[in-house]
C-alpha cells in the first residue's frame, strides 16, 4: 500500500525459551493513530525496541518510511520520535532550556532553533509555562513538553509508551486532543503502546490486541465488534422482573442461546446470533417487566476482554515472567533514545 509508513513482516524476538514477539505482521498508515494494546509482558515494548533499531529481531523484518529498522537504524531514528512512559528532563532547567538542549543535539542553532522552540511550545500548550523549571511541572505538563521535545526533529512517526498513565482528567483531555491534532492536522503517524483502554478508544483509528507476543486481533473498534459477532459471540445484557429461575429457563430454551450467566444482578444471554428481538418478544409474551436490554460488544473494554477469553487468557491480572524482559527493554530504550 502506498500510504503504509510502518510495515512489519513476520517480526519475531526470542529470549532463550521465551518468545516475546511471535511472527508479527502489521501495516500502519500515514497519519494514523494506532493503539498497540496488551497487558504487561505481552510484547509491546519488545516490538517498540525492534522498531527503533535497538535490538535485532530473531526473525522477520520491520520498515519505517521504507528504511529497514535493523540495517538502517540511523535513518529510522531521524524520522521517528519516541516518548517513554516516564519522560525525564533536567529539573533545574526550564522547559525552554530543555528544548534548546534537545534542538542543539539535533543540529539546530541560532534563530532557527529559537523559532522552532517557540512553535513547539505553542503547539503543545506549554508556552506560558516555558520559563518555569521542569522540576515544578505536573506529569501531564511533562508529557506535553515531552511531545514538544520529540517534535524538535520534526519526525514523521511518533511512538508513545503509555502516554496517558497517571495524568489527571483535564491533563488527559488536553493530551488526547494534542495527539489527535498531530495525526489529523500534521499528518504524523502515532503508534501508542498502552493498556488504558478507555483513553485509547477516544483517539485511535485502529487497534491491535497483543497476548503473549501474538497479535490476536487488529482493526477499528467497530470492525473488531463485527468480527466477534460474525464468529457467533453475542452477549445481551438483561434486567427484567421478576428475576427468577423461570426467566433463566425461558431464555436458555431460545434458539441460538448457548448459556445464561449472571453479573451484578444482570442476566447475560450468550448466543451465536442476534437474539435482541426474540428476547423482547419472549419477555412481553410471558409477562415480564423489561428494565434494561443492551447488546454488548461496542466498547473496547468488552472487545478486549472477549478476545482474551477466546485466546484462553484472563484479562484481569495477566502477568508472567516476560515482565523481567519488559522492564529491561524500557531501560534500554530510555538509555539509547533519551537525550537526558
Q: State residue 114 phi and psi, 5-degree precision.
A: -65, -40
One domain, residues 142 and 251? no
Taking all residues of the chain, what is their mean pLDDT, rounded to a whole number? 86
Q: Where are the beta strands (DSSP E) in the chain?
A: 4-15, 18-29, 33-37, 59-64, 67-68, 80-83, 157-161, 189-194, 206-211, 214-219, 234-241, 257-263, 266-271, 289-295
Distance CA 15, CA 323 (A): 12
Domain annotation covers residue 303: no
One domain, residues 277 and 330? no
Q: Above 70 in pLDDT, residue 87? A: yes
Q: Residue 188: which CATH number?
A: 3.40.50.300
Residue recorded with cell 519488559: 326
Domain annotation covers residue 304: no
Q: How many CA atoms lie less than 13 Å away from 278 in the CB half-sphere?
A: 14
pTM: 0.77
Cell of 293: 436490554
Q: Residue 264's domain spans which residues?
A: 225-298
Q: State residue 309 phi and psi, 5-degree precision.
A: -60, -40
Cell of 144: 506535553
One domain, residues 36 and 76? yes
pLDDT above 90 covers a percentage of the chain that reads 60
Domain annotation covers residue 231: yes
Give Rg (Cα) of the chain. 24
Length of the chain: 340
**CA 77 to centroid of chain Cα atoms:** 21
Look up residue 134 and give its DSSP letter. Answer: G
One domain, residues 10 and 36? yes
Which residues touch 293 (CB under 8 Å, ≥6 apart)? 236, 237, 238, 239, 276, 279, 280
Q: Above 70 in pLDDT, residue 314? A: no
Domain annotation covers residue 57: yes
Q: Locate all alpha helices (DSSP H) within 29-168, ordered by sequence.
A: 44-51, 73-79, 95-105, 110-123, 139-151
Query: Residue 272 in contact with residue 256, Cβ under 8 Å?
Result: yes
pLDDT in tens, 108-164: 999 999 999 999 999 999 999 999 999 999 999 999 999 999 999 999 999 999 888
Q: How confident is the model at residue 322 (pLDDT cuts 50, 70, 90)?
A: very low
pLDDT of residue 319: 40
Q: Which residues pair with 133 in a beta bridge?
A: 94
Q: Which residues pair with 6 in a beta bridge?
A: 28, 64
Q: State residue 133 phi and psi, 5-degree precision.
A: -65, 140
Choice among 22-31, 278-287, 320-329 with the minimum mean pLDDT: 320-329
Three-state secondary-structure class, residue 334: helix
Distance CA 277, CA 279 (A): 5
> Number of structural domains, the chain?
2
Domain annotation covers residue 326: yes
pLDDT of residue 204: 92
What number is the average pLDDT over the span 163-179?
A: 87
- Burial of 233: CB neighbours in 10 Å, binned 0-12, 13-18, 19+: buried
- Relative to beta strand 214-219, strand 206-211 is antiparallel
Q: Above 60 in pLDDT, residue 318? A: no
Domain annotation covers residue 184: yes
One domain, residues 130 and 235? no
Distance CA 216, CA 144 (A): 32
pLDDT of residue 155: 96
One domain, residues 55 and 80? yes
Task: Give the DSSP H or E segment for 322.
Answer: none
DSSP 259-303: EEEEETTEEEEEESS--HHHHHHHHHHTT-EEEEEEE--SSHHHH
Distance CA 131, CA 96 (A): 6
Domain annotation covers residue 235: yes
Name which residue leads in pLDDT, 237 or 9: 9
One domain, residues 122 and 34? yes
pLDDT in tens, 175-186: 899 999 999 999
One domain, residues 279 and 146? no
Q: State residue 138 phi and psi, 5-degree precision.
A: -75, 170
One domain, residues 178 and 327? yes
pLDDT in tens, 68-82: 999 999 999 999 999
One domain, residues 265 and 153? no
Distance CA 311, CA 300 (A): 16
Distance CA 172, CA 167 (A): 6
Q: Residue 267: which CATH number?
A: 3.30.70.100
One domain, residues 128 and 186? yes
One domain, residues 93 and 235? no
Amino acid at each position: 500500500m502506498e500510504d503504509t509508513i510502518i510495515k512489519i513482516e513476520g517480526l519475531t524476538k526470542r529470549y532463550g525459551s521465551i518468545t516475546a514477539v511471535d511472527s508479527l505482521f502489521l501495516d500502519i498508515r500515514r497519519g494514523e493513530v494506532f493503539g498497540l494494546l496488551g497487558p504487561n509482558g505481552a510484547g509491546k515494548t519488545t516490538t517498540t525496541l525492534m522498531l527503533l533499531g535497538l535490538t535485532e529481531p530473531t526473525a522477520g523484518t520491520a520498515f519505517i518510511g521504507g528504511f529497514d529498522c535493523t540495517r538502517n537504524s540511523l535513518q529510522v531514528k531521524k524520522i521517528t520520535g519516541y516518548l517513554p512512559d516516564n519522560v525525564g528532563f533536567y529539573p533545574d532547567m526550564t522547559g525552554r532550556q530543555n528544548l534548546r538542549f534537545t534542538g542543539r543535539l539535533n543540529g539546530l542553532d541560532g534563530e532557527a532553533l529559537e523559532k522552532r522552540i517557540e512553535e513547539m511550545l505553542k503547539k503543545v500548550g506549554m508556552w506560558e509555562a516555558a520559563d518555569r523549571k521542569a522540576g515544578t511541572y505536573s506529569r501531564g505538563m511533562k508529557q506535553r513538553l515531552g511531545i514538544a521535545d520529540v517534535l524538535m526533529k520534526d519526525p514523521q512517526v511518533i511512538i508513545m509508551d503509555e502516554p496517558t498513565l497517571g495524568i489527571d482528567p483535564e491533563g488527559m483531555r488536553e493530551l488526547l486532543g494534542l495527539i489527535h491534532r498531530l495525526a489529523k492536522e500534521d499528518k504524523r503517524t502515532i503508534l501508542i503502546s498502552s493498556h488504558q483502554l478507555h483513553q485509547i478508544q477516544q483517539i485511535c483509528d485502529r487497534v491491535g490486541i497483543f497476548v503473549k507476543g501474538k497479535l490476536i486481533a487488529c482493526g477499528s473498534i467497530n470492525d473488531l465488534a463485527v468480527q466477534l459477532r460474525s464468529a457467533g459471540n453475542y452477549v445481551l445484557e438483561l434486567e427484567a422482573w421478576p428475576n427468577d429461575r423461570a426467566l433463566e429457563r425461558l431464555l436458555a430454551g431460545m434458539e441460538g442461546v448457548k448459556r445464561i450467566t449472571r453479573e451484578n444482578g444482570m442476566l447475560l444471554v450468550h448466543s451465536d446470533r442476534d437474539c435482541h428481538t426474540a428476547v423482547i418478544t419472549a419477555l412481553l409474551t410471558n409477562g415480564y417487566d423489561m428494565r434494561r436490554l443492551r447488546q454488548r460488544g461496542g466498547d473496547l473494554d468488552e472487545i478486549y476482554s472477549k478476545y482474551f477469553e477466546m485466546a484462553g487468557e484472563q484479562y484481569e491480572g495477566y502477568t508472567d515472567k516476560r515482565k523481567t524482559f519488559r522492564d529491561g527493554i524500557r531501560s534500554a530504550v530510555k538509555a539509547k533514545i533519551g537525550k537526558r
